[in-house]
Amino acid sequence: MNNDRRKVFMTAGYQTVSMGSGRKEFHPKKPRPGLEDYIKEAGQGTLKQIGGGQNVDEGVISNFMAARFNRQGHLAALIPSVDETLRWKPCIRVEGACGSGGLGLMTAVKSVLAGTADVVLTIGVEVQNTVKAIYGADYLAGAGWYKGERKKGHVYFFPALFSDRAGATFEKFGRDKTRRAFARWYRNAVENARLCETAQEFHNTTADLEALGLTEPNPRNFVEHLNVFDCSKVSDAGAAIAVVSEKGLERIGMSKSAAVEVVGWGQVEADLTVPPEDPTRLETTARAVKKALDSAGIALKDLGTVECHDCFTISGLLSVEAMGLAKPGEGPDYILDGQTSRQGTVPFNTSGGLIGWGHPTGGTGVRQAVTVWQQLTGKAGNWQIVLPSGRPYALSINMGGNDKTVVAIVYRRAD
Amino acid sequence: MNYADRLENVAVLGAAGKMGSGIVLLTAMEMADLKLEAGAVAKDYVLQAIDVSPKGLSGLIQYLRDQVLRAAEKKAVGLRKAYEGRQDLVENEDIVNQYVEDVLSVVRPTTKIEAAYDAGIVFEAVSENPELKVKLLSQIKANNTKNALFLTNTSSIPISELNDKVKLDGRIIGFHFYNPPAVQKLVEIIRAEATVPDLADFATQFAKKLRKTVVPSHDVAGFIGNGHFMRDALHGIAEAEKLAADMTLADAVYVVNKVSQDFLIRPMGIFQLIDYVGVDVCQYILKVMNDRMPGAKLHSALLDRVAALGVLGGQFADGSQKDGFLKYGKGRPTGVFNPDKKAYVPVAEIAARRDEKLGPQPAQAKPWKQVISLADKAAFLDGYFNELREMTTPGAELARTYGRRSKDIGLGLVKDRVAARDEDVNTVLLTGFYHAYGPINHYFD
């Protein structure tokens, strides 16, 4: 990567509550905040920390499927609804399925690099509890190849794609240990979420999470190799962060100690119409992570925390292997050894990840950046970890579809 | 004739009623499923939904649409497979909507009884009135072109009696769903002595395909379900009348209803259950049973008195509860009927003066809803009833008497050979009445 580029920072992150089943205040039949409310709350949450909308040069909004979940397109024009000073400024909406957030961050990063902006307000949002899960599954299936895959696909299209990956993994490396690793992943996710008041599983009180995680899958009502605890939930949430240049930091009066620097990234696209060559590997994720680490000039041993895209326990496990932390087939041991837990070598998903915090699909990438920013700048409240010494870097991995769009970003504290 | 052929043309009588609409729903779904299984070679399945009320029939269609939609959403995994040949149906929503359409297209709502003349199966679910049932079945039998088999949803009238009066030569069987049929798991199957084996086989297979729990009952008026419920209700009424020596009748009704619900961990108190079934329906059933069991004393003057005042309970078309012995707000009792004043006394007012005297529930009490889903339900119930046994409060005493009477009723049903074994009585109360435990137990010994 070109090293004489401008420096890019992120700061002033904000996340709303991840609303949906699991939250005490959630009632499927009662009125709830809508898309506009989450955009506003998240956007204003960031603007308040950076001196208001007049300091913003551009707006980016990441979203996957508001056109179906909320019957709303044209989201760029909702950015000015956050604050009237944003009116007449350049805004753009970015879509890459569940990787939309990562693409939004990269869009903002590139604006800063191009020098067309010094402060970019980046918002990610998805509001999915507007329909029953069975119809939401149709909408989310849009992250796959509709023409080639949907008809022969399952009712729960995406859970089934990852169930197939789980099945292939069971066959290759053994079912029992892999399922125990899934259950441990679930437990870690919920235990982390219990520390973070905005997390969807914050109110979870289950005593034996691993036993629950080991519930046998029921293919009659769901998919063959995964149970519902292996899946992230249906979430409504928004997140926002400011992507800024050095000049931008000055403009908003933010010290470097309250910002993270983006030191490397990998943005990789696979062909939507081509099925994965090896279902037990996340090849696109592996490529994106390698690019990100190479561009940052660091190695795995430098990472102090990771936000990975655990839309399912199997994707969490395969991410560990795709990163190279464990060899193919050894991810379960790595997880069962506790290495991904908050006490582990590299704590993963410290506010719960997609399974514990929630998965507002198109907004998740931005939420991951917010969690990283919170951890690196000491703003993580009860879910704060202390980065192991000699490991100052963090990595986020945001994946769209069945490992098709992946954005991996490497961060470190800016001061 | 095989099972699928028999279901080709079905008539349901009383199709818009509480039970009839559920029977139409389950049968039409079964017919649509058979059609889907058969694919291109499928026959034309027809369900004649017959009812005297045109308004009821339009309500039936709305009910079916809502219920089939919910059922389709639940079984969507199987439906995607069933429709895999239909290239035009891609999304879950397409498939679910198609299934709703396929089920509804089987159903032909009509007010004309003539529609049953070509039916191979006639399912009767009209009101619990023996003369009416005999009249309608006779008319169909006289005109039916298919030598139809008859299933009756009667909850009390002996099947042999219907068989003899309609001269069906054994082409009738009791197939008693519980309310609401779409939800309750239980079906009581009652063979008359003359019931032809073919029909018994069909009924068994039909119940199995609907995934119901089948309990065979002997052909004695009231069968197992009402055999227990009616006597249990009469016990509750008698207890209330006894208590009314020292308090108002409304207070006594409140006390017995509370004890039978909370202390006995049942889904509803006995007076709420009477309201749910309908005060007049209970009256009918008691009369049917009493007329056929001389000396059984299955009669309640209080029930007659309240019914005569037009206080009938039962449900509105939307399923919400009508006022009866109790008054309801959002499904919960809010008042108790005082027949002298023909007015409801607020529950809160009675509770304030009665609850303390009644005494507390055992300390380890949990609501019925929690208890039924406890993993260690048996252990919980043992502990709970052990505690209840040691208590000397009026509430505990009433509860013990109630539990013992309930057990005696159950044992009586086995002794009188209405039920073949204790377990059958318990299954009926567990699955048809959603009790947390069967009446034949050791909790009150």
Q: Does residue A130 contact residue A91 with C-beta atoms inside 8 Å?
A: no
Find the helix packing angle between B249-258 and B225-243, rounded to 10°. 130
Do B253 and B285 belong to one domain? yes
**Chain B residues lying within 8 Å of A132, measured CB to CB:** 73
Q: In chain A, how many H helices and how many E strands?
A: 13, 9
Q: Do A221 and B77 touch (CB under 8 A)?
A: yes
User: Is the pLDDT reported for residue A2 higher than 70?
Assistant: no
Residues of A in contact with B87 (CB under 8 A): 151
Q: Which of B217, B244, B266 is the last residue of a domain?
A: B217
B57-108 per-position pLDDT tens digit: 999 999 999 999 999 999 999 999 999 999 999 999 999 999 999 999 999 9
Q: Is the separation of the CB atoms in A85 and A54 below 8 Å? A: yes
Q: Say if strands A405-413 and A119-127 run parallel, antiparallel, or are unpaired.
A: unpaired
Domain membership of residue B441 (yes or no) is no
In-domain check, residue B436: no
User: DSSP 3-state assignment of B175?
Assistant: strand
Q: Which residue from A81, A84, A109 is spatially nearest to A94, judged by alpha carbons?
A: A109
Provide the β-strand partners of residue B177: B187
CB atoms within 10 A of CB A29: 5
Q: Residue B445 domain-assigned?
A: no
The answer as to whether B440 is a domain residue is no
Q: Answer yes or no: do B43 and B82 share one domain.
A: yes
Domain presence at residue B332 = yes
CA-nearest residue to A142 within chain B is B91
Query: Which ranges of A214-282 does DSSP label H, i.e. alpha helix?
Result: 246-252
Q: Which residues of B107-116 are buried (b: 16+ CB within 10 A; e: fewer)?
A: bebbeebebb
Q: Is B439 domain-assigned?
A: no
Cis peptide before A219 (omega within 30 of 0): no
Instruction: Write out the H or E segment, with its range, that includes residue B18.
Output: helix B18-38
Instruction: Please provide the size of chain B in residues.
Output: 445
Q: Is B76 on the interface with A (CB under 8 A)?
A: yes
Give the list of residues 6+ apart from residue B82 with CB closer than 8 angstroms, or none.
B33, B36, B37
Look at A154 and B80 and tell me if their CB atoms are within 8 Å: yes
Contact A239, A367 (CB under 8 A): yes
Q: How far apart are CA B178 and CA A169, in angstroms?
A: 47
Q: Does A221 touch chain B (CB under 8 A)?
A: yes
Neighboring chain A residues of B81 at a CB cutoff of 8 Å: none
CATH number of the domain encompassing residue B208: 3.40.50.720
How is residue B7 written in tokens? 């279901």
Q: DSSP 3-state assignment of B103?
A: helix
Domain of residue B409, CATH code: 1.10.1040.10
How far is A407 from A264, CA to CA, in rounded Å? 11
Chain B partners within 8 Å of A150 (Cβ): 90-91
Q: Is the pLDDT of residue A3 over 80?
A: no
User: Which two three-digit tokens encode residue A365?
Assistant: 């990438």
Inter-chain CB proximity A155 and B90 less than 8 Å = no
User: DSSP label at A344?
Assistant: S
Last residue of a domain, one of B158, B191, B217: B217
Of all residues in chain B, the one with the smallest CA distance to A220 is B77
The dihedral sign for the CA sequence B416, B421, B425, B426: positive
Q: Which of residues 137-166 of A touch B (CB under 8 A)?
A: 137-138, 141, 146, 150-152, 154-155
Same domain, B77 and B210: yes
Q: How many domains does chain B have?
A: 2
All residues of chain A having their beta carbon less than 8 Å from the beta carbon of residue B96 are 134
Chain B closest-CA separation from residue A29 CA (Å): 16
Residue A6 CB contacts under 8 Å (≥ 6 apart), including other chains: A112, A113, A115, A245, A246
- Write the CA distances from A115 to A8, A109, A250, integer angstroms: 11, 10, 15
Phi, psi of A303 (to 5 degrees): -80, 130
Nearest CA to A241 among A392, A115, A411?
A: A411
Contact of A23 with A254, CB cutoff 8 Å:
no
Strands in B6-106 per DSSP E: 9-13, 46-50
Sheet strands (E) in A16-171 = 58-62, 91-94, 119-127
Sign of CA dihedral A290, A292, A298, A304: negative
Claim to verify: residue B209 and residue B250 sit in the same structural domain: no
Question: Are B212 and B239 in a shared domain?
Answer: no
d(CA B214, CA B201): 13
Instruction: Give SS3 for B290.
Output: helix
Q: Does B245 touch chain A (CB under 8 A)?
A: no
Contact A340, A188 (CB under 8 A): yes
Boundary of a domain, candidates B196, B217, B238: B217
Range of the domain at B410: 225-431
Residue A389's pLDDT is what? Answer: 85
Tens of pLDDT, residue by residue over A131-163, are 999 999 999 999 999 999 999 999 999 999 999
What DSSP state is assigned to residue A150? I
Low-confidence residues of chain B, pLDDT below 50?
Answer: none
Q: What is the DSSP letter of B191?
A: E
Do B251 and B371 share a domain, yes or no? yes
C-alpha to C-alpha distance for B328 and A398, rounded to whole angstroms: 53
Instruction: Look at residue A112 in the predicted model and tell me its pLDDT.
Output: 98
CA distance B52 to B213: 31
Q: Are A348 and A192 in contact (CB under 8 A)?
A: no
R_g (Cα) of chain B, nearest Å: 23
Inform me whether the C-beta atom of residue B340 falls under 8 Å from chain A C-beta atoms.
no
Between CA A240 and CA A262 the distance in angstroms is 16
A63 to chain B, closest Cα gap in Å: 22
Overall pTM surpassing 0.95 (yes/no): no
B299 with B359, same domain: the answer is yes
Q: How far is CA B137 from CA B116, B126, B132, B392, in A?
A: 10, 11, 9, 54
Residue intervals in chain A for CATH 3.40.47.10? 8-132+234-258, 153-231+263-413
**Interface with A, mutate which of B70, B91, B94, B100 (most A CBs under 10 A):** B91
The partner residue sitting opposite B80, judged by closest CB among A155, A219, A222, is: A155
DSSP state of B323: P
- In angstroms, the CA A21 to CA A19 distance is 7
- Whether B171 is in a domain gets the answer yes
**Residue count of chain A:** 415
Report yes or no on B230 lying in a domain.
yes
Phi-psi region for residue B174, left (φ > 0), alpha (ψ -120 to 50) or beta?
beta
- Token match 């050979």: residue? B417
Residue A193 CB-density burial (10 A; 0-12 exposed, 13-18 middle, 19+ buried): buried
pLDDT at A202: 98
Q: Are residues B231 and B305 in the same domain?
A: yes
Contact A365, A347 (CB under 8 A): no
Cα–Cα dist B144/B116, whole Å? 7
Question: Above pLDDT 70, what percent of chain B?
Answer: 100
- Interface check A203 vs B, CB under 8 A: no
Residue A138 has its nearest CB partner, among B74, B84, B91, at: B91
Residues of A with Cβ-Cβ distance to B91 under 8 angstroms: 138, 141, 150
Q: Which residue of A has its CA nearest to B86?
A: A151
Among A45, A63, A199, smallest CA distance to A124 is for: A63
CATH number attached to the domain at A8-132+234-258:
3.40.47.10
Does residue B74 belong to the interface with chain A, where contact is any CB pair within 8 Å? yes
pLDDT confidence of residue A332: 98
Domain A153-231+263-413 part of CATH 3.40.47.10: yes
C-beta of residue B256 within 8 angstroms of C-beta of residue B398? yes
Q: Is A132 exposed, middle or buried (0-12, 13-18, 19+ CB in 10 A)?
A: middle
Quick one: average pLDDT of A182-203? Answer: 98
Residues B151 and B265 occupy one common structural domain: no
Residues B235 and B164 in one domain: no
What residue of A is the nearest CA neighbor of B79? A155
What sign does the CA torsion over B115, B116, B122, B128 have?
A: positive
Q: Which residue of B has its CA nearest to A221?
A: B77
HEC per residue, A177-215: HHHHHHHHHHHHHHHHHCCCCCCCCCCCCCCCHHHHHCC
Structure confidence at residue A108 (pLDDT):
98
Tokens encoding B244: 């009314």
**Same domain? B182 vs B241:** no
Rounded Cα distance between B282 and B230, Å, is: 7
In angstroms, the Cα distances linking A125 to A69, A75, B324, B430 are 12, 10, 51, 47
Could you tell me if A207 lies within 8 Å of chain B, comparing CB atoms? no
* Rounded Cα distance, B409 and B202, in Å: 31
Q: Phi and psi dihedrals of A179, rounded to 5?
A: -70, -35
Residues B381, B313 share a domain: yes
d(CA B151, CA B122): 6
